[in-house]
């Protein structure tokens, strides 16, 4: 089964993201707006119990972190995805490291860019048409994230919460 670890932002930021995702993200109905902390990995029923225990140990060390979203950006030309860019801070970076290196699944293929996707799988023309106007509208949002979620993928492709973990530490 496929799993991933994410942080869900507040309803306000989700609503803002969904305003764009309804039009520009084919995965809109499959998952709530989120920031991926550990990308997709496979685990069986026994392994996921071990993963959940390990996540619990990590979240006992790490405390809440600030999610500060300050601009709209894109991964073009690599991919025509558009996203709300979150500022990388030490707390978030340390949490990401603990959940991606010497942890279950493969290490990340790309550098960690904390973000919330608002558009993807766009043609080059669509991407070029909307990136400029989204950058002008901009975004400025800050909140505290105090929990992360282990998700799993259903047969229909949608994602749902397997377990939620409160960030309880002081790091």
Point out the catalytic residue in the list 34, 62, 96, 127.
Answer: 34
Is residue 96 flagged as an active site residue? no
Of the residues 62, 91, 96, 115, only one is catalytic, namely 115
Catalytic site residue 149? no
User: Is 71 within 8 Å of 135 (Cβ atoms)?
Assistant: yes
Beta strands at 115-119 and 35-42: parallel, antiparallel or unpaired = unpaired
The tokens describing 149, both together, are 């979620």
Which residues partner with 35 through β-bridges? 7
Among residues 111, 97, 107, 105, the alpha carbon closest in space to that of 41 is found at 105
The H or E element spanning position 151 is strand 147-153
Q: Annotated active-site positions, please?
A: 34, 115
């Amino acid at each position: 089964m496929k799993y991933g670890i994410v942080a869900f932002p507040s309803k306000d930021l989700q609503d803002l993201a969904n305003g764009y995702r309804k039009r520009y993200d084919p995965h809109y109905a499959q998952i709530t707006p989120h920031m991926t902390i550990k990308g997709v990995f496979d685990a069986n029923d026994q392994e996921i119990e071990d993963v959940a225990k390990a996540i619990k140990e990590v979240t006992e060390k790490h405390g809440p972190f600030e999610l500060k979203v300050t601009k709209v950006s894109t991964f073009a030309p690599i991919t025509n995805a558009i996203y709300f860019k979150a500022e990388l801070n030490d707390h978030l970076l340390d949490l990401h490291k603990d959940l991606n290196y010497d942890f279950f699944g493969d290490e990340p293929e790309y550098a960690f860019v904390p973000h919330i996707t608002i558009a993807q799988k766009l043609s080059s023309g669509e991407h070029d048409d909307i990136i400029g106007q989204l950058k002008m509208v901009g975004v400025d949002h800050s909140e505290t994230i105090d929990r992360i979620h282990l998700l799993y993928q259903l047969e229909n492709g949608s994602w749902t919460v397997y377990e939620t973990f409160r960030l309880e530490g002081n790091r």
